[in-house]
């Protein structure tokens, strides 16, 4: 009996160790069967699954740095020194672009027709007028009309028109403090009514 007792104790210890080993293996198997909390089944380790948040797609909002284009009539204002001048155009009729010294308003129906406003510092209208149209048209004939009204306004400027075939470009140069505000119009035949309507909105305030 005394000899059998140590053997019985040893068997009990071995059986207990076996039970612990089996329980440990089963726990590991259960842990590998399902993903940890918070992970999506089938997703590779280290990645997350995109979630729809209701945010607008890129086509629903302007790209960074782009300002939305206003529809309808918009007044474009420039301040130079003590002078403020502006032109109001319909953005559904004209494309508007910045230039180094002003703005260009191009008729959407005809890209060869545009109005351009320019500021020329340290010049007089009389001095700037003769060569002013060189940047717009390679004219065959140049007409200087002296002082004349900008169509639809009471603003008077030094007026020049260059012609080449049926293409023409007219400009009115207005003296202001410190320089000249120039308004050029490129067209063929007659100035379109949409351009005349826009010119009539010109304001120069000193």
Residues 133 and 86 in one domain: yes
Structural contact between residues 113 and 93, judged by C-beta atoms closer than 8 angstroms: no
Residues 91 and 131 in one domain: yes
pLDDT of residue 47: 33
Structural contact between residues 54 and 60, judged by C-beta atoms closer than 8 angstroms: no
Pairwise CA distance, residues 94 & 114, whole Å: 8
Q: Is 94 helix (H, G, I), strand (E, B) or coil?
A: strand
Domain-located, residue 57: no
Domain-located, residue 140: yes
Give the number of domains in the chain. Answer: 2
pLDDT of residue 7: 56
pLDDT of residue 155: 98
Domain-located, residue 19: yes
pLDDT of residue 41: 46
| Beta strand spans in the chain (E) | 73-80, 83-90, 94-99, 102-107, 114-121, 141-149, 156-164, 167-176, 179-188, 203-205
Residues 79 and 166 in one domain: yes
Residues 25 and 77 in one domain: no
Domain-located, residue 66: no
Residues 25 and 104 in one domain: no
* Residue-number span of the structural domain to which 83 is assigned: 72-205
pLDDT of residue 71: 73
pLDDT of residue 55: 32
pLDDT of residue 81: 84
Residues 26 and 105 in one domain: no
Residues 145 and 176 in one domain: yes
Domain-located, residue 67: no
Residues 113 and 14 in one domain: no
Residues 88 and 156 in one domain: yes
Burial (CB count within 10 angstroms: exposed 0-12, middle 13-18, buried 19+), residue 158: buried
Domain-located, residue 150: yes
- The gap from C-alpha 29 to its chain's centroid, in whole angstroms, comes to 58
CATH of the domain at 120: 3.40.1000.10
Q: What is the pTM of this model?
A: 0.66
Q: Of 131, 125, 87, 121, which is closest to residue 105 (Cα–Cα)?
A: 87
Residues 94 and 182 in one domain: yes
pLDDT of residue 57: 33
Mean pLDDT by 10 residues, the chain (206 residues): 52 59 55 47 38 33 46 91 94 96 96 98 97 97 96 98 97 97 98 98 96
Domain-located, residue 111: yes
Sorted by sequence, the CB contacts under 8 Å of residue 160 that are 6+ apart come out as 129, 130, 132, 133, 142, 143, 144, 145, 170, 171, 173
Residues 165 and 88 in one domain: yes
Residues 25 and 122 in one domain: no
């Amino acid at each position: 009996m005394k000899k059998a007792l140590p053997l019985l104790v040893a068997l009990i210890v071995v059986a207990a160790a076996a039970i612990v080993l089996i329980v440990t293996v089963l726990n590991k198997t259960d842990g590998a069967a399902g993903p940890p909390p918070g992970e999506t089944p089938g997703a590779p380790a280290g990645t997350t699954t995109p979630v729809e948040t209701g945010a607008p797609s890129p086509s629903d909002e302007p790209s960074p740095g782009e300002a939305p284009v206003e529809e309808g009539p918009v007044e474009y204002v420039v301040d130079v020194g003590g002078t403020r001048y502006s032109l109001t155009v319909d953005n559904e009729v004209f494309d508007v672009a910045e230039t180094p010294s002003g703005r260009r308003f191009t008729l959407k129906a005809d890209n060869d027709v545009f109005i351009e406003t320019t500021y020329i510092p340290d010049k007089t209208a009389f001095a700037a007028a003769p060569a002013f149209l060189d940047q717009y048209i390679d004219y065959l004939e140049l007409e200087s009309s002296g002082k004349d009204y900008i169509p639809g306004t009471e603003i008077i400027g030094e007026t020049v028109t260059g012609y080449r075939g049926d293409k023409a470009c007219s400009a009115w140069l207005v003296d202001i403090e410190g320089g000249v505000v120039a308004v050029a119009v490129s067209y063929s035949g007659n100035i379109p009514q949409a351009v005349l309507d826009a010119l009539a909105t010109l304001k120069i305030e000193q």
